[in-house]
Amino acid sequence: MRIKVIVPITSDLLNEEVRKEVAVYGGTGVEYDVENLDYGPASIECEYDEAMAVPDILYKTQKAAEDGFDGVVIDCFGDPGVKAARELVDIPVCGGFEPSVLLAAGLGQRLGIVTVLPDVVPMLEDLARKMGLHDRVVCIRYVNIPVLELGDKAKLEDALYRQSLEAIEKDGAHVIILGCTGMMGMAANLHNRLKENGYDVPVIDPAWAAIKMVECYVSMQLKHSRLTYRVPREKPHKWWG
């Protein structure tokens, strides 16, 4: 099984870390190829960023399918371009949000998300509404750290712990979902710290969730429904450049 991981930012800043993570997460015998964008924004933190990242995500998804990959992970919690990408190809495509929420929904009743910035909260609420699951998402909190500053792991870890605690104690969350695929390597420690403080709750790493979900669909020989995601009709167009 070969899976393409598209990191939808225009630098290769995160590629190495993503490669290391998927080497740990990935299933036996699964091969991962990690790639960033050529065109788009440096990070996705609002609807505008997302819109500008999507064309190249779609190009790279289609390329991955042509290159014989078995599945595609769009490595961003906002699921940018996921629905359009599914129209283009016949292999499973997942972003971070949908798999995280689905896996979390099987582990507990009330889901809490801790993301990066207030800017993305309405987008995530929209995603939850589209899934019909927004009434199980009891809060969408944020650490108030931009994506490209998540590298300060100590600061991030502390902020995640504080927000997760509030999610549990104030909002009644039973499961914590990390709301950015850039929050790599945080889930296990956060889980332990919460457990030591009396809250034995699952913590979902969205990149890991995305990878497992794609592996799962590939192994089950399943792909998205062609009644929800129909093949785009051929038509004239004018692309850039």
Sites for its own copies among residues 49-68 (CB under 8 A) = 49-52, 54-55, 58
- Encoding tokens for residue 93? 């495509």
Question: Per DSSP, which regions of 58-162 are E strands?
Answer: 71-74, 93-94, 111-115, 137-142
Q: Which residues in 71-96 are b (16+ Cβ under 10 Å) and which e? A: bbbbbbbbbbbbebbbebbebbbbbb
Looking at the DSSP bridge assignments, the partners of residue 157 are none
38 in contact with its own copies (CB under 8 A) = yes
233 in contact with its own copies (CB under 8 A) = yes
Neighbours of 54 (CB within 10 A): 21
185 in contact with its own copies (CB under 8 A) = no
228 in contact with its own copies (CB under 8 A) = yes
Of 14-22, 34-42, 63-71, 155-163, which part binds its own copies (CB under 8 A)? 34-42
The contact mask relative to its own copies for 71-100 (x = CB under 8 A, - = no) is ----------x-xx-xxx-----x---xx-
Q: Is 43 left (phi over 0), alpha (psi -120 to 50) or beta?
A: beta
Nearer to its own copies, 154 or 240 (CB): 240
- Encoding tokens for residue 140? 């969408």
Best CA proximity match to 137, nearest among 184, 182, 160, 104: 104
Of 65-73, 154-162, 177-185, 222-230, which part binds its own copies (CB under 8 A)? 222-230
118 in contact with its own copies (CB under 8 A) = yes
Q: How far is the CB of 113 from its own copies (least distance, A)?
A: 14
239 in contact with its own copies (CB under 8 A) = yes
178 in contact with its own copies (CB under 8 A) = no
